[in-house]
Amino acid sequence: MIPKKMVVIIGVIILIAANIIALSVTSRRHASFGSGRIALSFAAPFQKAVTRSIRFARGLWRHYFLTVSVAQESYKYKEAFGLAQQQNNQLGELKLTNVRLRSLLDFKKTMTNQVLAAEAIGKDPSQWYKTIIIDKGRDEGVAKGMAVVVPEGIVGQVMGVSAHYSKVLLIIDPNSAVDALAQRTRARGVIKGVSSGRCLFKYVLRKHDVGVGDRVVSSGMDGVFPKGLAVGHVAGVIRRSSGIFQEVTVTPFVDFEKLEEVLVVLSPPKH
């Protein structure tokens, strides 16, 4: 199938050729005045049509090239805008990363333990365990049983180590345990994870005063987590009429869905 642009070009060429032939007939010296008039009467409208066709074709081509040029410029602007937007997103992400790292660095300065910064690179997809994978392992000094923390509070405990990666059991996992106390009244208990993403403050004696909003911190008595690290706040208390323990629910300070950088506690406190 012949393209429309080619059809227009061929039509213009035919009209121009016909116009030249008609003009040549009118310009013959041996032609009489009458026959010249007849030829002119025939050629003039035809020439007018050819002239209009040429002007139309020229305008069409100018419009076509202008459209192509505008389209190319539009594509360039869109490409430049997309690149600028991507760079802006990257700068925004870099800014947020710097804020988190600065917070982590400030928290690191308050620690009396030797710590190692690591990045959370994955999490367990199953519903059975609440764990994350970090990008530091045995070769960087990480060992099983070490505590993992962030400025907001306790994250969990290293449960498995390879050369350059480690698996961390989060405190919201039912298999986790942190010896803790209510900061206000010093009531002691053990933080255990539950499937809801919260924790239970277990083995708190019913006679001890624990209230909603109380801050819960690590006691340091388990030999894993340094004393005084934040765990969460008391979200609910049930004191039954019988039994020696009360039921205390704790909401962790750490948002485990947004973990990106953590600190691994490598050594006991410096004295």
The β-bridge partners of 250 are 199, 234
Give the pLDDT of residue 271. 43
Give the pLDDT of residue 98. 66
Give the pLDDT of residue 90. 63
Give the pLDDT of residue 74. 73
Question: Please, are residues 186 and 205 in contact by the beta-carbon 8 Å criterion?
Answer: no
Q: How many CB atoms lie within 10 A of CB 108?
A: 16
Give the pLDDT of residue 262. 93
Q: How many CB atoms lie within 10 A of CB 191?
A: 25
Give the pLDDT of residue 176. 94
Give the pLDDT of residue 173. 94
Which sign does the torsion angle of CA 257, 263, 266, 270 carry?
negative
DSSP state of 212: T
Nearest residue to 133 via CA among 122, 148, 125: 122
* CA gap 133, 44 in Å, rounded: 88
CATH superfamily of 113-271: Rod shape-determining protein MreC, domain 1 (2.40.10.340)
3-class secondary structure, 33: helix
Helix pair angle (4-26, 33-110), 10° resolution = 150
Q: What angle do CA 13, 16, 18 make, to 5 degrees?
A: 110
Name the stretches of the chain with pLDDT < 50. 27, 29-34, 270-271
Give the pLDDT of residue 15. 59
